Amino acid sequence: MGKVHGSLARAGKVKSSTPPVEAQEKKKKPTGRAMKREKYNRRFVNVSATMVGGKRRMNPAPAK
């Protein structure tokens, strides 16, 4: 069995100490074809000038 980072006595200390918040009512997300269409528009149609390299990376390193 692998090692545990930190003692398990402290597990969940943040979640238990934060006050509960009511979930907000949100608009339904499109599914299926409509979701694919939205993704396509976001990635290829509404591209900004800052994204010159083509693909948008998840966690890009700052440009040097």
pLDDT digits (tens, 9 = 90+) for 26-51: 999 999 999 999 999 988 888 766 66
Of residues 50 and 11, more confidence is placed in 11
- What's the pLDDT at 35? 96
Q: How many helices (H) and strands (E) does the chain have?
A: 2, 0
Of residues 56 and 29, more confidence is placed in 29
CA distance to 8, 18, 22, 28, per residue, from 25 (Å): 35, 21, 9, 9
Of residues 15 and 59, more confidence is placed in 15
User: Checking phi first, is residue 55 left (phi over 0); if not, alpha (psi -120 to 50) or beta?
Assistant: beta
